[in-house]
Structure 1
Amino acid sequence: MTSLYIKDNETAELAAELAARLGVTKTEVVRNLLRRQKAELMPSTPLLSMCERLDAWRSAHPLGEPTGLKADKAFFDELWGEEPD
């Protein structure tokens, strides 16, 4: 078993204050906060499921038909109202 020693006084005081308000131990406060932080960082759905969701979104929102326009510098200059070089 490995111990966690909080060397920063402000952090230790915050943990103690929160533990007292919640009626739990400092260990529970730290554990719950770490679990919450970990859950926020971890994806809630597996990667394969995310790919499937993206494929479904792409099917529901297809790209428009090609216009045949060339998207080069002259095209974007015209969009911005600039004179061609």
Structure 2
Amino acid sequence: MDLDRAMFNPASVFASPGAVCDAQDLSHAQKVEILRRWEYDARELQVAAEENMGEGSEELLDEILAALHQLGAGIDLDNSPPTKQGGF
């Protein structure tokens, strides 16, 4: 697996967020980082959809959040900006 590619574009390497959790050749921290990047991308697509510039998938975001929960990774408040991309 190409870790750099997975970090840059998780969807190009993994069929689903659950596949990230199942990957045997990744550390826990790498899995969380990949899913966080995928979460950011999914949120960006939702913002674009709200602005009529594309489509965002609520189901994909739900899958990503479920995978993060499965890994025990909650919301990262320390690194979340106050934006629609997931911050508070």
Band the TM-score falls in, shorter-chain normalisation: under 0.3
Q: Which has the higher contact order (CA 8 A, sep 6+)?
A: 2
TM (normalized to structure 2)? 0.26
Structure showing greater Rg: 1
